[in-house]
Structure formats: C-alpha cells, structure tokens
Amino acid sequence: MGRATFILLTALATLGASMSGARLERLSEERTASEELLYLPNGKHLKLASMGQAPLIADVLYLWAIQYYSNYQRVDRFKYVEHVFGDVIAELDPYAIDTYWLGAMILSVEAKDLEGALRLLEKGFANNPDSWLLPYMAGWECHQYGQYRRATTYFQKAAAVPGAPMTVRRVRAGMTHKTGDLRESLRLWQEVANDPEADDHSIKVARARIRDLKVKADITDLEYEIQRFRDRNGVPPASLEELLRRGYIRGVPLDPDGNEYEYDRETGAVSSGSRLLSES
Amino acid sequence: MTTHAATVVAVPPSRTVIVAIALNTFREAIRDRVLYLLLVFAMLLIGASRMMSMITVGNEEKLVKDMGLAAISVIGVLTAVFVGVSLVFKEIERRTVYTLLANPVRRWQFVVGKFVGLLVVLGMNLLLMSSGLIAIVLFRGESPWMLLPAVLMIFVELSIVTAFALLFSSLTNPMLAAVWTFASYVTGHLSWSLLLLKERMPEGGLGRPLCQFIYWILPNLDRLDIKAEVVNGTALPVDFIPLSVLYGFSYAAVILLLACAVFERKDFN
Amino acid sequence: MVTMLEMEAKTSAPAGSTPVIELRGLSKVFRGHLGIGSTTGVDGLDLSVYRGEIFGLLGPNGAGKTTTLKLMLGLLRPDRGEVGLLGGTPRDPSARARIGYLPENPYFYDYLTAEEFLDFYGRLHGMPADERRKRVRSTLKRVGLAGREDTPLRKCSKGMTQRVGLAQAIQHDPELVILDEPMSGLDPIGRREIRNIILSLREAGKTVFFSSHILQDVEMICDRVAFLERGRLHSVGQLSKMISETVRWVEVSIRGALPEALMDSCVNQDDDKSLIRVDRMDDLPDVLASLQETGAEILSVWTRRDTLEDLFVREMDRPAGSEEVNR
C-alpha cells in the first residue's frame, strides 16, 4: 500500500478509536459500580494462589480498596468492608496494622458500624498483640458512641501492652468519669502525636484521628454558635464571617485541607468537603 | 520441456494473497500443540464449577458464569500471546518467510494475512470454549445467552492483543515479544489508574495533560470488560457494544498498521 | 598472458542483451549489537547478469553470497547502491512475479504435502485453480517427484525437499530463477538432476543465477562466473575464457618395463604399473616413442588442464579489486 493510503488508514483508525473511546469513557462513568468484590475468595485461598507473594497482593488489594472506598459516588459500598479488610487483606498479610485501623475507621465513621469496626480491631490485636494502637483506637470508637465502660476495657488493654506510651496510660486513668467530649479526645490524640516516645506509625494514625476530630469539633462549635445567633436574632447568620464580625467566634476556622467550611443558610448546617481518607 | 500457455506474470489482488496467507496461518496454528493444551485447561476450569463454589462469598450460579468467562478470557489471552508470537517467529526462523517475500507478495499483506488467520483461530477457540460454558449453564437450568456479549467483548480484546503480538514479534525475539505483548495486556487493564494519578497531580503544569495523553494512547481493555455486568444481568447502554467493537477494532487497526510499517522496513538477516 | 580486462572486453555483453539483474555500487554493512562493531556484508558490488545465461556466484563461506542474493530479492535494504531486477526494483511485486527463488537449506511448512505446498505458492502468483492443478502436477513431474504429491513435507528427504523447493521456484514459469546453493546436501544423482533442470531452463530461454561453493557443478554448467570474497568482487567473466586451455602437464600410466630415461619422470610405482608425468605437451610424442621401444603397455594418457579450482585458489590469493575488471 502506498504511503498515502497508509497515512490515511492510520488517521482514520486513530480517529475511530479516539471518538469511540471518548464516548465509552462517558458511558462508563454512568455505569453503576458492579459488585466486583463479591467474588474475592476467602483470603486463605487467595494466599494459596499468590505463590508466596501474599504481602504484595495484600498491598495491591489495600490500595485498590482505598480508591474504591474513596469513591463517594458508589452506593452500597460498605457491604463488604469487613470481608475485604478482615477476611481477605488481613489473611494475606496479618501484620499490616493499617489494614485494621483503616477498615475500622471506614466502618465506624462512614458506615456507622461500631460492632464491625470493633471486630476488625480485635482481629488485628489478636494477630498483633504488641500493637497498643489497635485497642487504643477501639477504646475511642466506643467512647464516640457513648459506650464508656467498654471504652475503659479497651484502654486497659492498650495500657497493658509493653511499650505503650505514657499518654495511653494516662487516658485509661482519666476515662472513667468523662463524658463524650470531642475536645478532650482531640487533646489526647494530639498528645500521642506529640509524644516523643511514640513511633512514626502511631503518630501517623494519631494525625488521621486528629483530622477527623478537628473537623467534627469545628463543625460542632460552629453549629452551636449558629444556633445561638439564631436564638438571639431570630434569623440565622448570613455567613460564617458574620459570626466573626458579631463576635460569636474568634476566628473562622479552616478545615485540615485549608478549605473553608460550607455553610448552608437554610438548614443551618455546616459541612466540610475534606475527605476522610486523604493524605494528611 | 513442458510448455505452458503463457508465463504467469500476474500480481495477484490483495484479497487473494491475504486469504491464502490467512488460510496457511490457520492450518499451521491448529497444529500447534500449545493450542490444545490451553483448550483442555480451559475446559477443565469451566467444568470444575462444583469445586469453585467452596471458596466464595456470594452466589454459586453467578460464580459458574463468572469463572467460566474468566477462564475463557485468560486462556484466550494466553493463546493470542503464545501462538501469535510463535507463528511469526517460526516463519522467520525457518526462513519460509524468505520464499514467501520473494513472491509477488507485499509485506503488509503478509502481516494482515497472519492477523486474519490468527483471529480465525482465536474465534474458533472462543466458540468452542463458550459452547462448553453455555452447555454447563444450560445443564444447571439457567439462561446462558447473556454471556454472549461478554464473549464478543473478549474477542475484541483479543484482537488488540494479537495486533500487539504481531507488532512485537516483528521487532524482537519471541521471548521479549511475548513479555511485551503480555505487558500490553496488563497495562490495558490497569490504565484506569492513570486517571486516578491525574487527579492527584497539581493543577496547571504538565502533569495532568501528560497523564491524560498516556491514558488516551494506551489500550483501555478494562472498559471492554463487561463480565460483571453480564453475569449480574445489569443492563448495558444501548450503544455500548457497537462503540466497543468500533473502539477495539480501530485500535487494533492502528497497531496492525504500525506492525506493517515495521515489517516493511525490516532487514532479514 | 591475456589479462582479465582484455578477455572481458572481448566477450562483454552478448550482443543486444539487456541485463536481467543489475547491481550498481551495492553496499551493505551489518551493525553489531548495540551499535558496537560492524561486519561488511558486501562492498561496492557492480554486477550485471544478462538474459539467457547461467551465472554462477562463487566464493568461500562468509563471502557475502547469500547477502547479495537477499539484496537482489529485497529481503535486505542496501546502504548504498541500486538493484535493478528485470527492469524494475526488487520492492516491485510485478518484478518479483517474474522470478523464482530457492533459498539455502530451506525448511518448508512441514504440515503440508508437496502438492498443497505448491498450490499455496501458486495462489500467491494469482493462478486460478485449474491452472494451479495442472502446473503443480507437471512441475512435480519435471523435478522428478511424480507420484509423490501426497507426501507430507516433513517426511521428505533432503533431496526431495530441495526438489520441491526448486519446483516452487519454477512452477510459474519465471524469466529469472535465483538459487542459493541449490546442490548442497545432494548426492551425485541429485546434483546431476538439478544440473539438468538448470540446463533445460536455459534452453527454454530463461536466465539462471545461482550461488555455490561446489566448483565442479559450476564448471559444468555456468556461462559466466563471478568471484566474491569478503563482500567484494574479484573478477567476473566468461568461464571458458577465464580458464586457460593450455595443458599444464600430462600423466601417462603404463604397465611393464620403464625406460631408463623416464625414471626421473616417474611419480608413482605400484607392482608393475607406473605413472609418468610429462611436464610439457611437446615432449609427449618422444615419451610415447620411448615407451613403445620398451614394449610397455600404455594404460592411459591424461591431460591436466586448468580447473576452476585452480582459478578459484588463484583468485582468492589475489587481493580484491587489484584489477578493474568488473564491468
């Protein structure tokens, strides 16, 4: 075939591929998420099939799960969190602490499934008895949901782990009488983050919790002040800046990503676009 | 001295040449034992549905279909890679390609002929394997016909892989060619990660457009994968199938044209 | 001693012939791995082959014979220079339609039978089905494989494979037949048959170009020859003119008493048989006369002329291009 024919054909084919590709791209965005993870076999069998590369596969699955669960468009995505993290990834690599606390965080914060979160954390602790972080986190989860006695048990467990930093031990002591106080939680996690004895990994975990707590604390505070404004003036404030000007708050907080909080005047709700699982 | 009516000086039309080479390729491919080995393996996988149900969370009936399709897909790819690469290699190594090219055969006709022949072999393979799967599904009392679009998509995917196989085996030795072809298959299924990477790139600057560009250039095989939809009975958008077929064959055509160009300039040493 | 140049000038192109193959300044260098090092394939080849002749390309292994053939057929692209093939270029399918080619030590598709194999190539020449059938059978007969149409190629002996290959090269009645070492690996009967086929091709007005390092075959059938060494042409010319006709010596074999005068000339003795070497043709009558006197029985008289082998060795000893004869 001559040069001209060749170039023509190549151009045509490229055009065909590009155009249909673009259309397909748009179509695929509309496709509902398929239940792909349904067929993830039990971790034990996957381990057998992995031919010795189990930790690697665990990593790959972990990364994929993160992306999967970060996609807020997916409806019904929490159905198999426990299975994915607890049965599959944990089986492949039982010693990766991240698996447990991240899965637990997803379950607790987004799926509002405390029991599931606790089960995951307990499994992690069973596999990694020298990780004080997991029961520590379990304690805070219970605390968030108002189950203080359970929280105390977990904190006890955490403190009993040799090598647990001072903060953990202190928390256990002061926990029995406290009510659910976000600020207190925030402060204590911050102590972990600033504790010179704590290892880098624990600090990283602490920071993630702090992020989440800070957002919650800010929102609670703002909504409280908005309510106060309303009670006083009969109408909600026009914006957060107005709260500032009128002296209800000392400064307009920003979320951990540095973005402003969104205020919906009609409902009086404050929300944050900050994603739970973004890098801190 | 034999006498013939006239010396044959005809340069045959492309159609004739391509068909002749495709037929020859087909005949050669079906004598490759690797083909049958893979086929048998596929049948075993498809038939072992009983065992598979033990290791899954979820529906057993769906499992049979899903595993069956997965087996067909994987075996299909392996066939495309190994048989595709070895066929060109054999021609070059045994120098049958010399005699062939000394005839009034243009180099691109050789590449296209091989491609067509291979597609026919793969198509036949897919037909056999899917018949087996359909039979099993029917036997279990379910409707297998939804599986056919998925098989069609697998065929489209395989045509892209085959085009790559021809391209790479014109470029290098069979070992590397097989590796590269396989790599193109894997890359094709992971290209979605480029979009994710793009999201993490800072705005402005080269990062984002580069990611987008590479994503555009690479074959997107994952998008052609409708196994999950088919098995779950999810409805597909109406123009999905014609668009995908267009995409697949257009992309394969580009790669094939590239392979022709490479082959055209090749020195046979 | 007539120089090569003069000989070539006298014979040059057969009157009125057009070159069937024309190589001008052809060069090809092969680069080593990763661009390191290089091997010369051919260097500055100038060669013309004319219609109706049998041309032999000679040279030791590694001289570049196969490279030359591949360049002629378009299997390799030259770095410099041009190839003219039947008035066109080797990249031209219409030119290739009129040639036939047999590669060196060919493999073929061993899952085909001889007939299927030829049929495939027939298709590639655009032959319609019934034409193909006729030609396949008649060509098989011509190469001596009548009745073997259904033999699968993988069961063929070396000789059979070679013949099938030759059949493939000639079945479409090409004007030019190019053969790379067509006689290699064949037994004497096989070689004779191939030689006869080549001769019959010339009789039919075809041109044959083949490369070989078996000199006896070349000597028997070639019109013109060229010597190739390390990618360069040494000389080209008509065979008959290149091999001198002068007798180098004569060997006389006798039985019986050896005359005293001839004792020195005796090179071998075995029982009552002796072999006498006569260095000059002119001395032969005297030798024969003295033999008659002693009553010895003359068994044979053999003239040792220049052979192609002698020429070959002489050529290879000479540095390439020392005479500008290659026109």
Beta partners for residue C80, in sequence order: C27
Q: Is B6 on the interface with A (CB under 8 A)?
A: no
Query: Would you call C76 and B95 a contact, using CB atoms and an 8 Å cutoff?
Result: no
Contact C123 B265 (CB under 8 A): no
Report in angstroms the alpha-carbon separations of C149 from A113, B172, C113, C156, C183.
79, 37, 7, 11, 22
Nearest chain B residue to A71, by CA: B196
Reading chain B (269 residues) residue by residue, the pLDDT tens digits are 444 444 556 788 888 899 999 999 898 888 777 788 888 877 787 777 656 555 554 556 666 777 788 888 888 999 999 888 988 888 888 888 888 999 999 999 999 999 999 999 999 989 988 888 888 788 777 778 888 888 999 999 999 999 999 999 989 888 999 999 999 998 888 887 788 788 777 777 888 888 888 888 899 888 888 876 777 676 777 888 899 999 999 999 999 999 999 999 888 87
What three-state secondary structure class fits C179?
strand
- Using CA atoms, how far apart are residues B207 and B191, in angstroms rounded to an integer? 16
| pLDDT for the residue numbered C260 | 77
Hey, is the C-beta of C143 within 8 angstroms of any chain B C-beta? no
Q: What is the pLDDT of residue C177?
A: 94
CB contact at 8 A, B161 and B184: yes
Query: What percentage of chain C reaches a pLDDT higher than 70?
Result: 91
| Contact (CB<8Å) B216/A14 | no
Q: Is the ipTM of this complex over 0.85?
A: no
Q: In which residue ranges of chain C is pLDDT below 70?
A: 1-17, 319-327
Residues C68-93: tens digit of each pLDDT: 999 999 999 998 888 988 888 888 88
Residue A102 predicted with pLDDT over 70: yes
C-beta separation of A14 from B254 below 8 A: yes
pLDDT single digits (tens) B211-240: 888 888 899 888 888 876 777 676 777 888
| CA-closest candidate to residue C279, choices C253, C247, C306 | C247
pLDDT, tens digit, 9 for 90 and up, residues A34-84: 444 445 556 666 666 666 666 766 776 776 677 666 655 555 566 667 777
* Per-domain residue ranges of chain B: 14-265
Nearest-CB residue to B103 (from C121, C178, C203): C121
pLDDT of residue A176: 44
Rg (CA), chain C: 24
C chain contacts of residue B268, beta-carbon cutoff 8 Å:
70, 75-76
Q: Which of A13, A34, A36 sits opposite B250 (nearest CB)?
A: A13
Residue A211, both tokens: 């992020």
Rg (CA), chain B: 21
**Residue A190 in this model has a pLDDT that exceeds 90:** no
Instruction: Identify any residues that bridge with C100 across adjacent strands, giving them in sequence order.
Output: C177
For chain B, percent of residues with pLDDT exceeding 70: 90
Q: How far is the CA of B211 from the CAs of A215, B186, B192, C222, in angstroms?
A: 32, 18, 11, 66
In sequence order, the β-bridge partners of residue A6 are: none
Q: Is C99 on the interface with B (CB under 8 A)?
A: yes
Q: How far apart are CA C13 and CA A133, in angstroms?
A: 97
pLDDT tens for B18-62 read: 999 999 989 888 877 778 888 887 778 777 765 655 555 455 666
- What does the angle CA B147 – CA B184 – CA B231 come to, to the nearest 5 degrees? 15
pTM for the model = 0.70
Q: pLDDT tens, C135-185?
A: 888 998 888 888 888 888 888 888 888 889 999 999 988 999 999 988 887
